[in-house]
């Protein structure tokens, strides 16, 4: 298996969108224009992972001041108007790994790639919001993220988490 961590310059928008749809489905996927806007706002927050030259996963984060923003919904947390390029905090808005490549360590590689980049650009804390399910709790905790708080109504109710969300944080 030949895998590599890549930055946005090494990836085509079509590939990112393909992984987005594979990871989140049509209903929850960001549009191509939203993905492009995110990349234009904070390209250094993008980390991709390729296997055999094919993008199989990506992660995107924006810098923002968590102490001032304190988002209460996923929509608030992903608002690009909150982007603060000088902040030493980052919020992960999206982690997506194509279905055929899940459970093979790509998510961990993405987190490690972002954490390395975060340290390089002066970010000291990374936050993320997640659905309150056992599977993703174990994944993020195994990567050093700690629960900060539970949030009612974080996600639309879809049966997997009944709208419950959890804010997590890691010092990098």
Q: Which domains does the chain show, CATH number per domain?
A: 3-171 (3.40.630.30)
Interval 56-109: pLDDT, tens: 999 999 898 877 776 766 677 777 788 888 999 999 988 999 989 999 999 999
Write out the two tokens for 110: 């993405």
Sheet containing 125-131, strands listed edge to edge, beginning at the edge strand earlier in sequence: 3-6, 46-51, 54-63, 89-97, 125-131, 165-171, 146-151
pLDDT at 106: 95
Report CA-CA distances (Å) from 41 to 21, 60, 63, 84, 92.
21, 11, 10, 10, 14
pTM summary value: 0.87
Of the listed ranges 4-8, 83-87, 152-156, the least confidently predicted one is 152-156
Write out the two tokens for 1: 């298996």
């Amino acid at each position: 298996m030949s895998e590599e961590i890549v930055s946005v310059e090494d990836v085509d928008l079509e590939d990112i969108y393909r992984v987005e749809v594979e990871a989140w489905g049509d209903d929850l996927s960001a549009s191509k224009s939203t993905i492009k806007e995110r990349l234009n706002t904070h390209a250094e927050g993008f980390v991709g992972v390729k296997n055999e030259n094919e993008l199989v996963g990506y992660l995107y984060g924006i810098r923002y001041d968590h102490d001032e923003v304190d988002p209460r919904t996923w929509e608030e947390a992903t608002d690009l108007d909150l982007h603060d390029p000088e902040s030493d905090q980052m919020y992960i808005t999206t982690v997506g790994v194509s279905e055929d490549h899940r459970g093979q360590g790509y998510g961990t590689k993405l987190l490690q790639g972002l954490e390395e980049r975060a340290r390089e650009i002066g970010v000291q804390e990374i936050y993320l919001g997640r659905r309150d399910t056992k599977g993703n709790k174990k994944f993020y905790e195994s990567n050093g993220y700690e629960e900060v708080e539970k949030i009612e109504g974080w996600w639309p109710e879809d049966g997997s988490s009944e709208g419950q969300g959890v804010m997590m944080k890691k010092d990098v």
